[in-house]
A and B are shown apart, each in its own frame.
Chain A
Amino acid sequence: MAEMWINMGPQHPMTHGLWNLRVKVEGETILDAEPVIGYLHRGWEKLTEYRTYPQIIPLSDRLCYGSSMTWSHLYCLTIEDLMGIEVPERAEYIRVVVLELQRIASHLMWIAAYGTDLGLLTAFVYCMRERELFLDLLQSVTGARMTYNYPRIGGVRNDLPPDFERDCLRALDYFEKKIDEYEEIFDGSEIFLMRTRGIGILKPADGMNLGVTGATLRGSGVKIDLRKHDPYSVYDELDWEICTHPDCDCYARYRVRMDEMRMSCQIVREALKKMPAGPIRVKAPRNAPKKTAYARVEDPRGEGLMYVIGNGTDKPYRLKVRSPIFVTVSAVPIMLRGYKVADVPSIMGSVDMCLGETDR
């Protein structure tokens, strides 16, 4: 067959959102690829320039529906840096708990979508079922299922509900058994291994040069996790490890996310145990000083960074979001070249696309 360009997207089952992957194929082999994004561009950064600081928190939830907590937390972290607010310790611990629950939920959604990409709808339903556990937990804390609007500049919205610790531990115990079941379905299946092993190789040097972060980079064997390397919140007081895998392929990324879910369970347990009493929220000033600030966190998808310029009013002068997937998706041509068209879902699925944060 001659060379041809195939448009995979903007409406395509592989895309998980609205974007377009132009793939140049010869027969079934991919020669080149070119991601086209921007279908979901809302001008988020411009919108924030017209809103007061607290009003932006629910907006930043909408950056990514899969892990909205991390984004609103990142925003609050940035503004706290800008305003010089010290957050009470209990609030930090509560944040760690909800962030890790959110990370589990986000990874579960990723595995669910990955299963569908590879044609296994059962895994989708199983993972979504267990995600419901964590959504229920987060709902009992925050009052919403997806866009939580929970972190506040200077703390969190409300305290944990009375039975939260018991429910949370119970859910974690149940969930850890379920992870074994997923491993049975995925790792136990020779066909899954065939589809993911040796596919979508991203060499560590390439990954670092391209600015790829998060589980995709850790799947290349690079031991980078901002929770350890640039600790925010109370992550440096907790005992946990960075999960990496040396294989550089889709399977390694899958493995890293699986291990990260286990690690998140461990972090939540420890944070619940160590949680101190005390206030949960500090009053934030209305106006920000004239300076710049930024903060970065380890989003489930990679490194999230927000850069804010305050100008003395109650609205930010400029707020910039560094979205992890925005950079990762610019690196996919390297991962795709030389593989088959059928590998596109398994490679693109393994980087965990989220278009809300990519296009902003």
Chain B
Amino acid sequence: MAEKTKKGKKRTPKLSCYVFRPMYATLKETVRATVHRPDTVLYPWEKLELPDNYRGRPGLVIERCIGCGICMRICPTGCIELVEVEDEQHGKMRRPQMNIGRCMMCGYCAEYCPKNAMIVTPEYELAAYTRQDLIYDPFELQHEYKPGYEVSIVEVLPSELKRGVGEKEPGREGKDRPELSDAKCIGCARCAKICPAFAVEMIQVGVSDKGKPIKRPKFDFSKCVGCEQCVENCPRDALTMKEVL
């Protein structure tokens, strides 16, 4: 075949059968495409079959959302914003609103969501007439849930890997947790108010000189999602995130 031809020599065109081989190959394909159907997917009428984990626009299962804001923090394009919304069932709440025009469908919000409230949906036809239409408020962002739409982090801790732990169930035992430095805390209870997962409880640890109770936050790590809102809102920087590795 081609390897046998001399290299380096200037090729003179041959009128041999060499042009007929590609012609035969394409003819075979033509016959195949004519007898069977061509490979085209007639887009507006037919659509590709998408797997369940297809990352279209993110969707929100609003009942599960606790408004922790992790999605807002992880979003690389900054298209998620927490807004105050109201409905009859839940009253006032803070829920993510998303600018789909900016979203790059990376799926991070769904992946990092501790409650699997953010899901990936196979919806990809998102054109709208104005940019305003592309900003989806939490109710618009809702999407019907189907198993397979959620993405979760399946990871082991480096310490566990060294010990030789096998596969782990999706869960967040290795999540980072807030840590209190006692000296700085003034017991203002802002962390308990802000905590979206209700994991902070103010506990009386003693009585001050003036007879007032001294309160310190106590964290319930089974409830904590590691959203850092308490750390951010602490007025005295008494809380820090401790990484679990």
A/B: CB atoms within 8 Å of each other? yes
Max count, chain A CB within 10 A of own CB: residue among B14, B105, B158, B241: B158
Cβ of B160 to closest chain A Cβ, rounded Å:
8
The one of B7, B14, B39 in contact with A247, judged by C-beta atoms closer than 8 angstroms, is B7
B22 at the interface (CB under 8 A from A): yes
B220 at the interface (CB under 8 A from A): no
Max count, chain B CB within 10 A of own CB: residue among A51, A188, A281, A283: A283
Q: Mark A171-188, 1 if CB is under 8 A from B, else 0.
A: 000000000010011111
Number of interface residues of B (CB under 8 A): 53
Known A149-B106, A193-B2, A286-B176: A281·B11 in contact at CB below 8 Å = no
B51 at the interface (CB under 8 A from A): yes
A58 to B104, CA, bound (A): 8
A345 at the interface (CB under 8 A from B): no
The one of A122, A186, A279 in contact with B161, judged by C-beta atoms closer than 8 angstroms, is A279
Contact A143 B54 (CB under 8 A): yes
Known A143-B107, A144-B54, A144-B55: A188·B158 in contact at CB below 8 Å = no
Q: Which residues of A contact B9 (CB under 8 A)?
A: 198
Contact A139 B51 (CB under 8 A): yes
Q: How large is the interface on A (under 10, 10 to 19, 20 to 34, 35 or more residues)?
A: 35 or more
B194 at the interface (CB under 8 A from A): no
The one of B7, B24, B54, B161 in contact with A86, judged by C-beta atoms closer than 8 angstroms, is B161
Q: Which residues of B contact A56 (CB under 8 A)?
A: 76
B5 at the interface (CB under 8 A from A): yes
Known A88-B161, A181-B25: A157·B111 in contact at CB below 8 Å = yes
Q: Which residues of B contact A159 (CB under 8 A)?
A: 154
Name 7 A/B residue pairs within 8 A (Cβ), A-sorted: A58-B106, A149-B107, A157-B151, A184-B21, A186-B22, A280-B155, A286-B176
A62-B104, A190-B16 known, 20 other contacts, Cβ within 8 Å: A56-B76, A57-B106, A140-B53, A144-B107, A154-B158, A188-B1, A191-B19, A197-B5, A198-B10, A278-B166, A279-B167, A280-B154, A282-B156, A282-B157, A283-B155, A283-B156, A283-B158, A283-B245, A286-B243, A287-B243
- Using CB atoms and an 8 Å cutoff, list the residues of chain B in contact with chain A: 1-2, 5, 7-11, 13-14, 16, 18-19, 21-22, 24-26, 29, 39, 50-51, 53-55, 74-76, 104-108, 111, 120, 151, 153-158, 161, 165-168, 174, 176, 241, 243-245
